[in-house]
Amino acid sequence: MTLEEIEALYNNGETDRVERKESATDGDKIRQAICAFANDLPNYCKPGVIFIGQKDDLSCAHLPIDDQLLLKLGGWRADGKILPFPVMHVTKQRFSGCDIAVIVVEPSDNPPVKFDGRIWLRTGPRRSTATIEEERRLVEKRRWGNCTISTDRWDAIG
Write the pLDDT tens digit of every residue in 111-135.
Answer: 999 999 999 999 888 899 999 999 9
Peptide bond into 84 cis (omega under 30): yes
Asked if 5 and 155 count as a contact pair (C-beta separation under 8 A), the reply is no
Domain boundaries, the chain: 3-149
Peptide bond into 112 cis (omega under 30): yes
**pLDDT, position 155:** 53
Collect all residues with Cβ–Cβ distance below 8 Å to 111 and sequence separation of at least 6. 38, 39, 40, 138, 139, 141, 142, 146
What is the sign, positive or negative, of the torsion defined by CA atoms of 104, 65, 18, 156?
negative
Whether residue 154 is predicted with pLDDT greater than 50 in this model: the reply is no
Looking at residue 60, the DSSP 8-state letter turns out to be: B
Distance CA 27, CA 99 (A): 19
**Which residues are 99's β-sheet partners?**
94
Q: Supply φ then ψ for residue 115, to 5 degrees.
A: -115, 120
pLDDT digits (tens, 9 = 90+) for 21-62: 999 999 999 999 999 999 999 999 999 999 999 999 999 999
Whether residue 146 is predicted with pLDDT greater than 70 in this model: the reply is no
Write the single-letter amino acid at 154. Answer: W
Distance CA 22, CA 27 (A): 12
Note the pTM of the prediction, 2 decimals: 0.89
Mean pLDDT of the chain: 91
pLDDT digits (tens, 9 = 90+) for 58-110: 999 999 999 999 999 999 999 999 999 999 999 999 999 999 999 999 999 99
Distance CA 10, CA 51 (A): 7
**pLDDT, position 115:** 97
In 3D space, the residue among 101, 35, 33 whose CA is nearest the CA of residue 65 turns out to be 101
Domain topology for 3-149: 3.30.950
**pLDDT, position 147:** 61
